[in-house]
Amino acid sequence: MTVTASTDLRACVGIDRPGIRAEGVTKRYGRTVVVDDVHLDLPLGGVTALIGPNGAGKSTLLSIVGRLLAADGGRVTVAGLDVATSRSDELAKAMAVLRQENHLDIRLTVRELVTFGRYPHSKGRPTGDDLVHVEKALEYLDLTGLADRFLDQLSGGQRQRAFVAMVLCQDTDVVLLDEPLNNLDLRHAVAMMGRLRDAARELGRTIVVVVHDINVASCYADTIVAMRDGRVAACGSPAQIMQPDLLEDIYGLPVRVHEIDDQLIATYYG
């Protein structure tokens, strides 16, 4: 593939003690191959952004890593645990995962939802320590004022933040988020990415996010994994990935990359 020539794919294979390792992961729906023999190592600690066009297999790969979806082939280990064979309750202490659509038919307050994040640790009997975690997570995502509101009384963006708070409250080394910026306004999107980066830097978390905005990936991620047609097309630091040819090849439209205030910003509007 042409794009791989310009980047160092080895940056994402064969790392010592990776946080997440995918070996030959494949997923098919009928004859359509959605994830095609993906080999990928993600370092322990740091924010990794999964980018790529619609249907590139980003969400599917994330779901397989998060054991929400079974792979048809290959193996995924998270913090040394094989996600297909390890006990789910053990994995829940090492990894938290949030998918895109989160519809609930039950009536919960924000605090009740976030408290569920402590389930892997307290099995539904939250201790004082758990409640401290809950309050911290609420505060972290600017939800303290909304804590006693019901989820169905919130806007889409507020609800999204509540779910992210639950996932962070789980207090795991690995956090997988599928499009956490959905429905968020600019302020909250920036705050969310800042929080995730802080969690990665200060607490040593390994955070993987699927994002659509490549500039978010450029400004907040330590590693960018670009996918196309179910394969990893490129992988590297933002400086390595934010290349006009490479992005053009991945998204199939002309992209210019500018350096503005020390940030690499891509523009692609006609």
Partner 1 sequence: MPPETATLPARRLAPSTRVAITAVIALAVVAGFLLADTHGYADFVVPLRVRRLVALVLVGWAIAMSTVLFQTVTGNRILTPALMGFDALYVLVQTVVVFAFSASLLNGTDPRLQFALETLLMLVFALTLFRWLFSSGRYELHVLILVGMVFATLFRSIAAFLQRLIDPSEFQVLQNLMFASFTTVDEDLVWATAVVVAVATALVVRRLRVYDVLALGAGPATSLGVDHRRETTRVLALVAVLVSVSTALVGPITFFGLLVAHLAYQLAGTHRHAVVLPMAGLSAVICLVGGQFVLERLLEVTTTLSVVIELVGGLTFIALLIHRARRNLA
Residue among 164 and 233 whose Cβ is closer to partner 1: 164
User: What's the CA gap between 57 and 51, in Å, rounded?
Assistant: 10
Q: Which stretch binds partner 1 (CB under 8 A): 10-18, 100-108, 209-217, 239-247?
A: 100-108
Q: Which stretch binds partner 1 (CB under 8 A): 7-15, 105-113, 217-225, 226-234?
A: 105-113
Per-residue binding letters, 58-97, with partner 1 (x by CB under 8 A): --------xxx-------------------xxxxxx-xxx
Strands (E), 147-255: 174-178, 206-210, 223-228, 231-236
Nearest distance in Å: CB 28, partner 1:
15
Figure out which of the listed residues 84, 104, 132, 203 binds partner 1, where binding follows CB under 8 A. Answer: 104
Q: Which of residues 165-224 bind partner 1 (CB under 8 A)?
A: 166-167, 170
| Element holding 46 (H helix, E strand) | strand 46-51
Residues 92, 42, 186, 154: what is their CA dihedral angle, to the nearest 10 degrees?
-10
Residue among 116 and 268 whose Cβ is closer to partner 1: 116
Chain-centroid distance, C-alpha 6: 25
Neighbours of 252 (CB within 10 A): 10
Neighbours of 232 (CB within 10 A): 26
Residues engaged in binding partner 1 (CB under 8 A): 66-68, 88-93, 95-99, 102-108, 112, 116-117, 119-120, 123-125, 150, 153-155, 163, 166-167, 170
